Structure 1
Amino acid sequence: MGLQVVRLKCEYKNNPLGLDVRKPRLGWNIEASRRNTNQSAYRIHVSKEDPDFNTLVWDTGTIDSDQSVHIVYEGTQLEPRTRYYYRVRVWDDQGTGSEWSSSAYWETGLMETSAWKAEWISPSRKPSDGTGDKPAEEPADYVRKPFTSPGKVRSARIYATALGLYTLYLNGRRVSDDLFTPGWTSYNKRLQYQTYDVTGLIGQGENVVGAVLADGWYKGNLAWKGVRNLYGDRRAFLMQLHVKFEDGSEQVWSTDRSWHVSSSGPIRMAELYHGEQYDATLELTGWSSPDYNASSWTLAEVLDHPKGHLVAQENDPTRVVEDIQPIAVIHTPKGETVIDMGQNMVGWVRFTVNASAGHRIVLEHAEVLDKEGNFYTANLRSAKQRIEYICKGGDAETYEPHFTFQGFRYVKVEGWDGEPDLSSFTGRVIHTDMDHTGFFECSDPLINQLQHNILWGQKGNFLDIPTDCPQRDERLGWTGDAQVFIRTAAFNMNVAPFFTKWLRDLKADQFEDGAVPHVIPDALPADHTHSSAAWGDAAVICPWTVYLCYGDTRILEEQYDSMKAWVEYMRRQGDNEFLRNTGFHYGDWLGLDAKEGSYRGATPNDYIATAFYAYSTSLLAKTAEILGNAQDAEQYRLLHRRIVEAFNKEFVTPAGRLAAPTQTAHVLALMFDLVDGAVRRRVAGTLAKMVEQNKDRLTTGFVGTPYLCHVLSQNGYHETAVKLVLQKEYPSWLYSVLKGATTMWEHWDGIKPDGSFWSTAMNSYNHYAYGSIGDWMYQVLAGLDTDRETVGYKHLQIRPQPSDGFEWVRAKLVTMYGTVESGWRKQPDGRLTVEITLPPNTTASVELPKALLAEVQENGRRAETAEGIISCRQAEGNVRLRLGSGTYTFSYPFVV
């Protein structure tokens, strides 16, 4: 294999279209046959519209550096609507050079808002406000425009967006498989547009471009109070089609008042929460094709709406990512016919039916059946999740929704003629199409199911924004949920673009005084509370975690003012600047030590608020230092020390006892390094006793749960943490698994032992927050973590912790540098085998637990003599190694 450069990326993406980034960042992976291979130099070529690189706009020359990610383009100024090709070659630390990589590219978008010549077009009917005799739900709008292409097309791009949701068509074909475009942002401050390559869809002569429009997040029903028109009361569409011809000429077609509109099509209603009504007898066959008669359509109106806040697509698109087949037809005690998909999923059902014209098929969606086995939707609150299809008759017809999504496992079918055939139904799983990067499995099948549930909880709730739940009348970007889960999320999938986009909306929606809304985008009423501890702290914790996992300093630069504003907001809230003891807080939300009838755990609000104040301040100080802001770094280090001092004075007795006798209080003191020395040892011991005295069960809620097992393992109580994770009785992670869960639950007892439900008011069965235990499973149980100084998995910390209850564990992570693996297995002869894989251009500090150096073998030889091992030594009953890249298998006698 030698030395090769592979998997080139630009802004985390393969060959992205429509970037508006002025200085995009490039990266690559290296493949090498030799262990301990590191890059010593690189060279990058970039050309403009030239795949052969005959004329370069950037030639770095040979740069002596081991950097292979986030290399900032520094060539000539990028031009709009232009493709840039790039290639890379590298040299390793022995002077061996690679060949040039295969070429990759990025393509710029419009770059400047002044480039938008198109006009916003809108249907001419009066907007609905959902009051009086005006209908709250409107049919979808169809817009179209014929155009004549005078010659052979060399390249063609469409740049499009909408106020509402849109799907784009050209000459009878759907332009892309992207869904729910333009996505959900803080629309009046930031609105994404998408770029489509339509070169192969345009023919010489007559063509037609068109789109279907629906309300979506922009003006549809949003949140639990039935509010509509949050961002505006009229749908609108904006599009520019740029075509370059083989003769060198170029032409642009744009939305304007010459476009035609119809609302008489088959989509009679489409709402994110409530579903879709589709009347196939009203289908506008061929409406986006040249030979369609649109004489009954009306002219569009031009809408006076700004374009200055348009930005190119930032995160990955939402798509149908996979299909699943149902496993059973159920006939409930009430006589309902129900399809069981076998998996709580998010998306919709595609079905094929053969029925007479006008026949009505209705699908309703639910997550669970009640204890009698009947279809149950009370936990959806006002969300209907209802699909209604009116058949057109004739041959078999296949339908799937367009502008709605459901969270469900069970589908109630009404109107079906006879027994439904499972082959007629397909579950289409929809989420933001992020790369699946993390894999975990072990010897315990229940823990493997837990990992499955964590992953599927992320799939279901990472649909353009990190939602709290995907089924009821909420589906909002709750900040607290996002920050407790982000580290786990960053293992399972590449979430860097996803959170980059979301954090830009957080910054946009942040109040002038630094306060942070509970949900992003901010969809709650203006008089709603905000800035709860652990929720508002997402402003600091989330960008820091992206930096930690991806080595991305640009997100720290972008979010620094927002991070600083949040800390300064907290600084102004308390009775003094070192305690945060005022304001609204969710506390340890859903903590099991809550008083009867309360959602908040027993840990005092001011304790939690001050703890997070300290933590965010410490991260801000580190961020300032990384960004070279020495003055801020010193200021916030000092502020952090003062907060910790005030915390100890307020909440720790002279004897070292915490004032709040809860598991969560002890967890936060340890996780955020608010206590040290003898006090820390006492707090850790007390926490372990609390867990043990509670029969190895937790009492923590949203705030304490993510860190509980981490602090136990870090402070000498790893086996206690393992017992917690393996606990099968309520409350525990495995309780829901044994109840048949296929995603994470919002409540530890969402379904009680007798089959009854926790509540109807707030009881999601797809709610990822408690899936944050995944972070502990990957980092601690499998031992795979990034170094806190050399971040982004450039240098790794691999410290597997074999434990009772597990025979083997392994984890794999696709990092920015390539694939990392860490796993261990107890052998029948009493030896422990530890397997590690590191990609080229990375190193790792490895700790083999309870090992003697003289007894450690690597692939049958003494570890000290193995290739790729940079150093090894005995340390405190363990063996510590520093490894270069390669695959290693260590084996040694081991006793738990």
Structure 2
Amino acid sequence: MTTVSKLQINYLDHVVGITEGPQFSWAIDTPFRNCRQKQYQIQIADEPSFASPLFDTGLVESNDSAQVRVPGFTPEEGIKYWARVKVVTEADGQGISTTPFSGSATILGGLKDPDSLKEHFITAETEEDIKLSKGTYLRKAISLKKEVKSAVIFSTAQGVYQLHLDGKKVSCDELAPGWTSYDHRLLYQSYDVTNMLSPGEHVLGVHLGSLWYKGTISFLMIHNFYGDYASLSLRMDVTYTDGSKETFYTDESWKGSYSPVLNSQLYDGEAYDASLEQEGWDNPEFNDDAWRTAKAVPCTSEHIEAQEGSPVALQEIMAPTLAFYTPKGERVIDFGQNMSALPEIRGQGKAGETIVLRCFEVLDKDGNVYTDNLRRAEQRITYTIKDDKPFVYRPYFTFFGFRFIHVESFPGRADLDNFKAYVIHSDMPQTGSFACSNPDLNQLQHNILWGLKSNFVDVPTDCPQRDERLGWTGDAQIFCQTASYNVNTYTFFKKWLKDLALDQTQEGGVPHVVPDVLYKYPFDNWLLNQGTHSATAWADAAIINPWVLYLTFGDTAILETQYESMKGWIDFMKTHAKNNIWNYKLQFGDWVALDAEEGSYFGATPNDLTCTAYYAYSTSLFVKIARILGKEAVAKEYEALYNNIVKTFQETFFNTDGTMTAQTQTAHILALHFNLAPKQFIAKTVENLKQLLAEHDGHLVTGFVGTPYFCHALSSNDCLDEAYALLLKDDFPSWLYQVKKGATTIWEHWDGIKPDGSMWSPDMNSFNHYAYGAIGEWLYRVVAGLNIDENEPGYKHTVIAPRIGGNLTWVEAAYQSVYGEVGIRWERESKSNVITLQATVPANTTATIRLLDGASLVDGDALTFAQRDDILEAEAGSGMYTIRYTLNS
């Protein structure tokens, strides 16, 4: 039977806060091959039974099952909608059939004028609290006289908040409203609370903290970066069954008080005094006579906008695996996994006793607690016990990057059952999976995924533990494609890219971090005093990240939204280039490459070369984007620019004998991967890269710029064996060296822990820093062979082309596209060159299946393979295929 197995709205299972007509996508589940959609029908209703749909497209002749819009449908403010779809398909062995309607997805209409929330901010803080980061409570008692038909809350905070109604949290959101470029925009959340209300007395309660808004932020340790008061703005719309409506706002009729949170900071953790708890503070029966009147405060953001999805939430619960004493006698709890999480503690003691815990990542050479790499981040919990009753506590307004907890103080003996860890990250369903016969590579994939989870906490941070945790553009750009294989990144990156555009300079320069917290205050930093924006490979996130989202989802909307930002960045480079050579103030270059001079963070590849290479690459992508958007005149203009940059690159960085002027691995990698090497010198460039690799006994010495593309540069140029050999190195330096050292996430440095067990400099030594995890893209694209066709993106047409090697006996990978699962498994038969390839192509899509490396067909499973050079190639409709072939080597 054929069914619609997944309906999404704007790539989410449910979407909130939207005021424009959304787009729908769905997957078709069928056992039949060559299943093609012929028609679809979408219904939208304001109740889940669809008894009287508000919109019904009827059967529409179309094979579109992604980016579909319903003409005339615009969500009304505060109205909840249910949507469903059915399709008519044609498939081999089935003919034409009609599916049942799918399950429903929901939409909650957002505010028509979200800026109206700017007029309703209130705080419980006083002037004395401006420099502090206490927790505060706000509450409002309300009375409802009639039966409630629907109720919706629109709320936001300058700071972070948890929303309660009658003693219960309204949602699973954490750290709402998230971190945006607050000067420009603040996000509001939309909550349907219909099922929580009835006639009678109720209380709206909010717990407020400081975090990014007014707490200490960035390695500059700036306080009150965006404002002085943690404050709340809320509107609740109640519609009664008789058709009447009532609206409640935050105003000075609300009451406020301090909470037991004495101090809560991004880097330092949280101090909580349970003796200050006010039981029932968020219930109607509570007496708030002693509370003070809330006061109004201004909104410091230019605009307020809706958060559509991907809120930060508690994702899974981890139990500790080991409790032990270090050689120094320190009590340590080991969770076995480095992560971003909230520790939960439970126990029993006496009133006034204090629990002190410090979260950290690694043990030192001797097995003792190591915290030097946290720099000034305390990552400490201080909990004061209220009485002799059992307690449970989890921090409210911060998060921690850790694997271990150092128990500095605890009543009695701290054991495993006293602790849990609640993993925290943005809500992004996992879309990809990779596994193979090599357990070390499986651990590497695990580390890549956990590095992603740890650092995608509302913004793509560099690390989750030290006094930084900033949205570094370079890390996000380098890792974007790998991230997009593994999880649904659309809403997450769409939100962050909008802030990138807002934070660009008037000339189009792109900050090093987004949201940009480095521009406002003058500082004397040995590194950043040279400039705080527009570094190659970092700023190129403005181009590359939207392009990756377009390829992954096939949606031009992200290109349209970011178009001016992208063009601004290209124009900035053009303005500051000299004779097509781009360089500008501070450049990170091949950051932390091992070919750097002793004590330096800067790799040996000249900035002129790395900058100009990226200038060419981003310009080439912008040309494609302009054409996709129908801007042919712009495309031609920038195509001419691109050709001039390439010509200059070749004339400047290649000698007349075909050697490169920079004899570094990264220089050759960029020339090959970005198609910048002159055709007549490609073979020589490849041979020189192999020689540079051999000079280091097959090891890489690349940094942030060269590493992501190293294996691609090799495998795309008939050096598959060398690429696999590089991947599978397990001594220093290599990806698997970290695995052998017990890593559970990706490290910032190849030698974060050196072979002798000593540490790299504590100045910059994160053990949860995902950039080098960009090798994950090569695992999916080359090892498994799962490739996007940029001419039919979003997996409308997939290119399946696995590269067999590395002594792997089997590999399997899958990706949950907007059309359904694309799956690949290949297996080498024992002691032979016979490969069995299983390929899954989703309904309403097609694929090209390529058998590479001199393959000879044994069984094509009814597909017609044609020979092209040393490639066998077949076109396949949807379905599952099992193909057997032999390799000539």
What is the deviation of 1:102? Answer: 3.3
Taking structure 2 as the reference length, the TM-score comes to 0.96
Q: Is this contact kept in 2: 1:698–1:724, CA < 8 A?
A: yes
Q: Cα distance, 1:829 vs. partner?
A: 5.4
Greater mean deviation of Cα atoms: 145-154 or 460-469: 145-154
**Cα shift at 1:48:** 4.6
- Which residue matches 1:102? 103
Choose from 577, 587, 599 the match for 2:601.
599
Correspondences of 1:245-324 after superposition (within 5 Å): 245-263=240-258, 265-305=259-299, 309-324=303-318
Contact 2:160–2:211 (CA under 8 A) maintained in structure 1: yes
1:842 matches 2:845: yes
**1:157 and 1:241 in contact (8 A); partners too:** yes
Question: Which sits farther off after the overlay, 77-86 or 530-539?
Answer: 77-86
Match of 1:404 in 2: 398
Is this contact kept in 2: 1:468–1:767, CA < 8 A? Answer: yes
Whether the 8 Å CA contact 1:314–1:501 is kept in 2: the answer is no
Is structure 2 residue 233 aligned with structure 1 residue 230?
no
The partner residue of 1:549 within 537, 540, 552 is 552
2:209 matched to 1:219?
A: no
Whether 1:119 aligns to 2:114 is no
Residue 251 of structure 2 aligns to a residue whose secondary structure is coil
Question: Superposition pairs for residues 317-396 of structure 1, below 5 Å?
Answer: 317-396=311-390
Distance in structure 2 (CA, Å) of the matches to 1:539 and 1:440? 28
For residue 894 of structure 1, report the CA deviation from its aligned partner.
3.4
Contact 1:156 1:197 (8 Å CA) reproduced: yes
Matches within 5 A, 1:339-738: 339-526=333-520, 527=522, 528-576=531-579, 578-738=580-740
Q: Determine if contact 1:348/1:427 at 8 Å carries over to the other structure.
A: yes
- Contact persistence 1:118–1:240 (CA under 8 A): no
| Letter aligned with residue 866 of structure 2 | R
Distance 1:114 1:498 in 2: 22
Deviation at 1:323, TM superposition (A): 0.8
In 2, distance between residues paired with 1:582 and 1:237? 42
1:794 corresponds to 2:793 = no
Partner of 2:236: helix, strand, or coil?
strand
Distance 1:878 1:114, change over 3 A: closer
Cα distance between partner residues in 2 of 1:84 and 1:126: 44
CA–CA separation in structure 2 for the residues paired with 1:18 and 1:598? 48
Task: Note if contact 2:185-2:301 (Cα within 8 Å) is conserved in structure 1.
Answer: no
Q: Which amino acid in structure 2 is aligned with residue 195 of structure 1?
A: S
- Where does residue 161 of structure 1 map in the other structure? 156
Q: Which shifted more, 476-485 or 198-207?
A: 198-207
Matched, 1:86 2:83: yes
- Return the match for 1:177 from 172, 176, 188: 172
1:303 deviates by: 1.3
1:45–1:53 contact (8 Å) kept in structure 2: no
| Mapped partners of 2:315, 2:635: distance in 1 | 43
Structure 2 counterpart of 1:716, which letter?
D
**Helix, strand or coil: the match of 1:68?**
coil
Structure 2 residues not aligned, in runs of 5+: 523-530
CA distance in structure 1 between the aligned counterparts of 2:665 and 2:237, rounded to whole angstroms: 60
Q: In terms of mean alpha carbon deviation, does 618-627 or 191-200 score higher?
A: 191-200
Give the CA deviation at 1:525: 3.3
Q: In the alignment, residue 32 of structure 1 is paired with which amino acid? A: T
**Retained in 2: the 8 A contact 1:573–1:583?**
no
Aligned-residue offset at 1:217: 0.4
| Displacement of 1:17 | 2.7
* Distance verdict in 2 for CA 1:180–1:436, change over 3 Å: same
Q: Which residue of 1 aligns with 2:528?
A: none
* CA-CA distance at 1:124 after TM superposition: 4.7
Distance 2:843 2:53 in 1: 31
Native 8 Å contact 1:118 1:239 kept in 2: no
CA distance, structure 1, for counterparts of residue 410 and residue 147 of structure 2: 49
Which residue of 1 is the match for residue 38 of structure 2? Answer: 40
- Are residues 895 and 351 of structure 1, via their aligned partners in 2, closer, same or farther at CA, if it must alter by over 3 Å? farther
Specify the alignment match of 2:887 in structure 1: 894
Partner SS, residue 97 of structure 2 = coil
SS class of match (1:761): helix
Which range moves more in the overlay, 252-261 or 77-86?
77-86
Return the offset for 1:850: 4.7
Note if contact 2:738-2:747 (Cα within 8 Å) is conserved in structure 1. yes
Residue 53 of structure 1 and its aligned partner are, at CA, apart by 5.3
Does the 8 A contact of 2:117 with 2:233 survive in 1? no
Residues 122, 804 of structure 1: CA spacing in aligned structure 2 closer, same or farther, 3 A cutoff? closer
The residue aligned with 1:4 is 3
Which deviations, in whole Å up to 9, do the C-alpha atoms of 1:2-21 show, x marking residues without a partner? x222211101111223223x
* Separation of aligned partners in 2, 1:46 and 1:314: 19
Once the 2 structures are TM-superposed, how far is the Cα of residue 733 of structure 1 from its aligned partner?
A: 0.3
Amino acid at match of 1:775: E
Q: 1:569 to 1:38 in 2, by over 3 A?
A: same
The match for 2:527 is: none
1 CA distance for matches of 2:411 and 2:448?
38
Q: Which residue of 1 aligns with 2:525?
A: none
Instruction: State the secondary structure of the residue aligned to 2:763.
Output: coil
Among 74, 84, 88, which residue is 2:71 paired with? 74
Distance 1:781 1:127, change over 3 A: farther
Kindly provide the amino acid, as one letter, of the partner of residue 23 in structure 2.
R
How do 1:854-893 residues align onto structure 2 when only pairs under 5 Å count?
855-858=857-860, 863=861, 866=862, 869=863, 871-893=864-886
Deviations 1:869-896, CA, capped at 9 Å, x for gaps? 3x42123233211111111111233354
The runs of 5 or more residues in structure 1 that have no matched partner are 130-135
Deviation track 1:266-289 (CA, whole Å, cap 9, x = no partner) reads: 111111110001111110100010
Q: Distance in 2 between matches of 1:77 and 1:410?
A: 49
Partner letter of residue 42 of structure 1?
Answer: Y
Is the partner of 1:16 in helix, strand or coil? strand
Deviations 1:155-200 (A, max 9, x none): 2111110000011111111111100000000012111000112122
* Aligned position for 1:132: none
Contact 2:119 2:299 (C-alpha < 8 Å) held by counterparts: no
Q: What is the distance in 2 between the residues matched to 1:290 and 1:321?
A: 31
SS at match of 1:96: strand
Residue 296 of structure 1: how far off its partner (Å): 1.0
SS at match of 2:26: strand
Contact 2:226/2:300, CA 8 A, preserved across alignment? no
- Relative to the length of structure 1, the TM-score reads 0.95
Root mean square deviation, CA, Å: 1.6
Pair 99,460 (structure 1): closer, same or farther in 2 beyond 3 Å: same
Deviation at 1:56, TM superposition (A): 3.3
Equivalenced residues, count: 875
Aligned counterpart in structure 2 of residue 138 of structure 1, from 119, 133, 139: 133
Cα deviations by residue, 1:281-317 (Å, 9 ceiling, x for unpaired) = 1101000101111111100111132676111103401
Alpha-carbon distance in 2 for matches of 1:124, 1:512? 36
Deviations 1:511-555 (A, max 9, x none): 110001000000113355210111111100110110011112100
Give the counterpart letter for 2:354 in structure 1. R
Report how far residue 438 of structure 1 moved: 0.8
Whichever residue aligns with residue 568 of structure 2, its letter is A
**How far did residue 393 of structure 1 move?**
1.9
Q: Secondary structure of the residue that 1:99 maps to in structure 2?
A: coil
Question: In structure 1, the residue corresponding to 2:687 is in which secondary structure?
Answer: helix
- Partners of 1:399 and 1:104 in 2: how far apart? 35
2-structure distance, mates of 1:762, 1:852: 47
For 1:614-660, what per-residue CA distance to the aligned partner results, in whole angstroms no more than 9, with x for missing partners? 11111111100000011101111111001101111111112221111
